[in-house]
Amino acid sequence: MANKAYQRIYTRLESITKATVSLKAKGVSNDELAVVGGKLAQVVKTRGDLVTLQVFSGTEGIPTNAEVTFLGEPPTLKVSEQLSGRFFNAYGDPIDGGPEVEGEVREIGGPSVNPYKRRQPSELIPTGIAGIDLNNTIVSGQKIPFFADPDQPYNQVMADVALRADVDKIILGGMGLSNDDYLFFRHAFESAGALDRIICFVNTTEDPPVERLLIPDMALTAAEYFAVDKNEKVLVLLTDMTLYADALSIVSNRMDQIPSKDSMPGSLYSDLAKIYEKAVQLPTDGSITIIAVTTLNDGDITHAIPDNTGYITEGQLFLRADSDSGKVIIDPFRSLSRLKQRVQNKKTREDHSQVMNAGVRLYADAQNAKTKLENGFDLSDYDHRCLYYAKEYATRLLSIDVNITITEMLDTAWELFGKYFSKAETGIKQSLIDKYWKGS
Amino acid sequence: MKTKGTVTGIVSNLVTVLVDGPVAENELCYITLDGTPLLAEVIKVNGDKASVQVFESTRGLKNGDQVEFLGKMLEVTLGPGLLSSVYDGLQNNLTTMETVFLKRGEYTDPIDHEKLWDFTPLAKEGDVVEAAGWLGEVKEGWLPHKIMVPFSFKGKYTVKSIIPEGRYNVDKVVAVLTGENGSEHEVTMTQKWPVKVAVKAYKEKPRPQRIMETGVRCIDTFNPIAEGGTGFIPGPFGCGKTVLQHAIAKQGEADVIVMAACGERANEVVEIFTEFPELIDPHTGRHLMERTTIICNTSNMPVAAREASVYTAMTICEYYRAMGLKCLLLADSTSRWAQALREMSNRMEELPGADAFPVDLSAIISNFYSRAGMVILNNGKTGAVTFIGTVSPAGGNLKEPVTESTKKAARCFYGLEQNRADQKRYPAVNPIESYSKYLEYPEIISYLDENVEKGWVRKVLDAKNILRRGREANEQINILGDDGVPVSYHVSFWKSELIDFAFLQQDAFDAIDALTPMARQKYMLDLILDICHREYDFDDFEKCREFFKELINDLRQMNYTEFQSDAFNGYVQTIENKTNGYGK
């Protein structure tokens, strides 16, 4: 980010907030980068001569006579095969001690794919976790977040999923990652011997929050390079998008914008959609799949961040600690994969969708029985059977530590149905019952 | 001379322009960025400063960049070839763009000017015509596409000449019209119309007369939507809004379907244009895509064009309505459109209304819904635009401005419920809170009397009553416990479950269950009500549950089998035997 000799240097800031500075300048273009007192900044607003810049690393220590130079271009990333196996900060500078990456300079946050040029996602991404593969099957080109309270092991699950998935590249965009979690990911990737197909862009809690705003665009620009130019299957992991949204609200607040729900900017939906919609199945075999994390405040999905996310993404995976089985499970009620119909019964066995629905419906009956029990009512025979079923279903299928094939998951479900229920109680289509029923 | 201007301020896609002449509200302009023209629309004027919303990314735009005003509002091109097209919100043809990534400032023609159409004249020399009068006809797919006097023509015109039958492209002058003042006007197969202005070239807009079948039982039977009616589907994410809307699009009894994907997921649009060309329209046997136009502004496309997309879609529907056709407009989701309005209002630093939405939100929404309706054309024929919008309430809470404003405007309410979705009771339309005002219309009641059965509406209300009583009984059971209430409470509850499981729930992914024609709906409702109207005497609630669960299973299996097939009739017999065993 060196200054060019002929550029005009401004030395008078009109106003400073914690995240932005304003100054009078001419010939400035929207979204262009600038250096303010040695810190990188981006133009977010112009009004007449007055230009407002968002300073990524915060404005601490910037004096009103700080030197400001404009770089004439929006943020960019150099893309090439050399990105593989490397760790970068939010600006795309290496943080692993390795050399600078050589390659083609690309603007980050570029245009979107023509919807008509997309192909319908139809390739299964198996993860071995039944809560995902059986109930919420993920498909390449999909975008899906984990909704989890901060105490859930979402980063571990995400690392498991990434390493089991059959993809060419895994790109991690870490936002507000604690240093421990950053090292966890690094270690997990290293010990799996997967380092050559990993690329990481990391902003840790030690870095200034506004820098996070660059992370998803950096990660996705790299992803587009591999998916579009190299026809590769790319999996992008974004954690934690709640911290990304928090950074958005900091900037909009400093710019005196009227906040909408939960003090988030009114453009939150568009801001998040711009990121998630980069998930794509291209007409060539290249694809970008996004698995993200949105941390919740005490399971509250009505908060603006998870709420807007839910409307954008193709489902969500809800992590919950289950008291019956003592395990962390993927909640079958609140979780959903919108693209599961693309592969269920087509790429998987014909009984998949009916087994999935019956399994969840019976689990719902168990929850009703549990409510009755808690309210001190007598339980019927059916209620008791439901409760036994629920415990085994949670342990053997919903728990995140499961790692089996989809056929094994289906067989396990039939085994549980046969053990606890009559054929009619499952409500499954007769032709499938005739073929797969286990037990009397 | 055209008004020109220079850029003086930029916040995201809101740009302030210093103008040198007159500008109109909603007038279009081109802002030139390094030689690329970016389309923008005036949304506010203050002195010589116009605020414009740019339909593209403003990255790289500078103060001082040049602006040229076009002297017209955002308009669409109307003519043969709109059907089976995929457009963006500004009616650019997405299928003819070559690059994988959308290029800023690339505008493509919505209409194919090369294609030849078989034209048949309908008017003759000397005929007196007015706006929307039918001059001729071409076959678009299997639909008779009328070539009309442009909607913008005012007063009466005399046909001076009209071309004979033959194959022509859309730019061919098909007729020359003489106005009352003797002026001559050439008419081609295309015309332009500003999207934000309703097409009013018809005689009158009466109350809806009949229902539009969708094959979805919880709609057609319980809360039917009228042809030319309005409805909306609010629901939290993950409750099956999109699946329900796609089912209506696939099965809706309409000549023309326009789907506006407004700020929604691109993959959902891909699903439509991948599957629809394969799917067969159950009413005509033709490919679904032949009657479908897709307007697509996905959530990552420029926000300002999102607002335009719903208007573009509505105008195309109004155009086909003027040909005497039945159109169905589906917009998913109108909340995204409202949010686009909010983003702009916010950037303009207007005083916000509730939840930071603009204060005129309610007026904008009801104005839009009012463009739907059945109309009697000037030639006495009828046409209709039925509109169903989805709403995505923040946090699933229906007490929010978009849902509340829409509730005032739409006549049918299909509320999706989280609780039902959690239990996989799809479609998750709440059977008790949802309503159709059309069930109160005398016109619709007598239509149903004639076309389904005399007294049909009473039957529907009866079924709704059983559901309501079942819910009340269930509340009592939950408070007092299974044993704490008389067995009759259980019977009430299970009767409502019977209607829910066997009638309201419907598998949108099963080839047979997905589409239930009205005759089959009537048969099933009769069968179910017959079971419900019998008296039962069970020893205990366990027996009651067992009895109804078996019946539910039989009825569900019926829904998966061909209507009146042997297997189907076999289940009827089984059910008959079971109920006779218990009935008193």
- CA-nearest residue to B57 within chain A is A111
Sign of CA dihedral A397, A398, A399, A402: positive
Distance from CA of A324 to the nearest CA of B (A): 19
The answer to whether the CB atoms of B296 and A115 lie below 8 A apart is yes
The answer to whether the CB atoms of B60 and A304 lie below 8 A apart is no
CA distance B49 to B15: 10
Show residues of chain B in contact with A269, CB under 8 Å. 263, 299, 336, 339
Cβ B232 vs Cβ B392: under 8 Å = no
Show residues of chain B in contact with A119, CB under 8 Å. 270, 274
Q: What's the pTM value of the predicted model, to 2 decimals?
A: 0.91
Kindly report each contact of residues B156-159 with a partner whose C-beta sits within 8 Å and lies 24 or more positions away, as own/partner.
Answer: B156/B128, B156/B129, B156/B130, B156/B180, B157/B128, B157/B129, B157/B130, B157/B185, B158/B126, B158/B127, B158/B128, B158/B129, B159/B123, B159/B124, B159/B125, B159/B126, B159/B127, B159/B128, B159/B129, B159/B135
Work out the average pLDDT over B491-507: 96
Show residues of chain B in contact with A361, CB under 8 Å. 423-424
Work out the average pLDDT over B515-536: 95
Length of chain A counted residue by residue: 440
CB atoms within 10 A of CB A261: 18
Sequence-distant (6+) residues with CB within 8 A of A309 are A145, A241, A272, A276, A292, A294, A316
DSSP lists the bridge partners of residue B73 as: B27
The encoded tokens of residue A300 equal: 């509250």
- CA-nearest residue to A276 within chain B is B300
**Strand residues in A315-418 grouped as ranges (E):** 315-322, 327-330, 336-337
The answer to whether the CB atoms of A120 and B270 lie below 8 A apart is yes
pLDDT in the model for residue B286 = 86
Show residues of chain B in contact with A336, CB under 8 Å. 238
Phi, psi dihedral angles at B119 (to 5 degrees)? -100, 135
Sequence-distant (6+) residues with CB within 8 A of B481 are A372, A375, A376, A377, A378
Tell me which of A252 and B41 has the higher pLDDT. B41
Q: Does A367 touch chain B (CB under 8 A)?
A: no
The encoded tokens of residue B405 equal: 């404003």
Q: β-pairing, A315-322 with A143-148? A: parallel
pLDDT in the model for residue A261 = 82
- CA-nearest residue to A119 within chain B is B270
pLDDT in the model for residue B348 = 84
The answer to whether the CB atoms of A29 and B62 lie below 8 A apart is yes
Residue given tokens 């589906």 in the structure block: B330
Per-residue pLDDT band at B146 (split at 50, 70, 90):
very high
The answer to whether the CB atoms of A427 and B556 lie below 8 A apart is yes
Work out the average pLDDT over B324-337: 94
Would you say residue B357 has pLDDT above 80? yes
How much is the ipTM here? 0.85
**Which candidate from B11, B60, B303 shows the least CB-CB separation from A29?**
B60
Q: Does A230 touch chain B (CB under 8 A)?
A: no
The answer to whether the CB atoms of A31 and B59 lie below 8 A apart is yes
- Report B:360-379 residues touching A (Cβ under 8 A): none
Q: Does A282 touch chain B (CB under 8 A)?
A: yes
CA distance A84 to B27: 49
The answer to whether the CB atoms of A30 and B10 lie below 8 A apart is yes
The encoded tokens of residue B276 equal: 């629809």
Q: State the DSSP string of B439-503.
A: GG-HHHHHHHHHHT-TTHHHHHHHHHHHHHHHHHHHHHHHHH-GGGS-HHHHHHHHHHHHHIIII
The answer to whether the CB atoms of A427 and B8 lie below 8 A apart is no
DSSP H helices, A225-263, are: 241-254
The answer to whether the CB atoms of A115 and B266 lie below 8 A apart is yes
**Which candidate from A258, A273, A339 shows the least CB-CB separation from B300?**
A273
Q: Over pLDDT 90: what percentage of chain B?
A: 77
pLDDT in the model for residue B355 = 84
The encoded tokens of residue A276 equal: 């998630």
CA distance B273 to B279: 10
Would you say residue B584 has pLDDT above 70? no
pLDDT in the model for residue B576 = 92
pLDDT in the model for residue A10 = 93
pLDDT in the model for residue A6 = 62
- CA-nearest residue to B105 within chain A is A111
Show residues of chain A in contact with B100, CB under 8 Å. 113-114, 117, 228, 282-283
- Report A:15-44 residues touching B (Cβ under 8 A): 26-32, 44
- CA-nearest residue to B560 within chain A is A429
Distance from CA of B550 to the nearest CA of A (A): 7
DSSP H helices, A122-232, are: 130-133, 154-164, 179-191, 215-224
Q: Over pLDDT 70: what percentage of chain B?
A: 100
The answer to whether the CB atoms of B63 and A49 lie below 8 A apart is yes
The answer to whether the CB atoms of A120 and B11 lie below 8 A apart is no
The answer to whether the CB atoms of A113 and B238 lie below 8 A apart is no
Sequence-distant (6+) residues with CB within 8 A of B47 are none
pLDDT in the model for residue B284 = 82
Q: Does B298 touch chain A (CB under 8 A)?
A: yes
Omega before A240 cis (within 30°)?
yes
- Nearest Cα neighbor of A130 from A408, A339, A336 is A408
Q: Does B482 touch chain A (CB under 8 A)?
A: yes
CA A155 to chain centroid, in Å, comes to 11
Count A/B contacts: CB-CB distance under 8 Å.
215
Distance from CA of B362 to the nearest CA of A (A): 18
Q: Does B108 touch chain A (CB under 8 A)?
A: no
- For chain A, residues with pLDDT lower than 50 are 1-3
Residue given tokens 């061919």 in the structure block: B172
**Which candidate from A74, A112, A269 shows the least CB-CB separation from B301?**
A112
Q: Does B543 touch chain A (CB under 8 A)?
A: no
CA distance B325 to B310: 20
Work out the average pLDDT over B46-58: 92
- Report A:292-351 residues touching B (Cβ under 8 A): 301-304, 307-308, 310-312, 314-316, 333-334, 336, 338-339, 341
- CA-nearest residue to B391 within chain A is A311
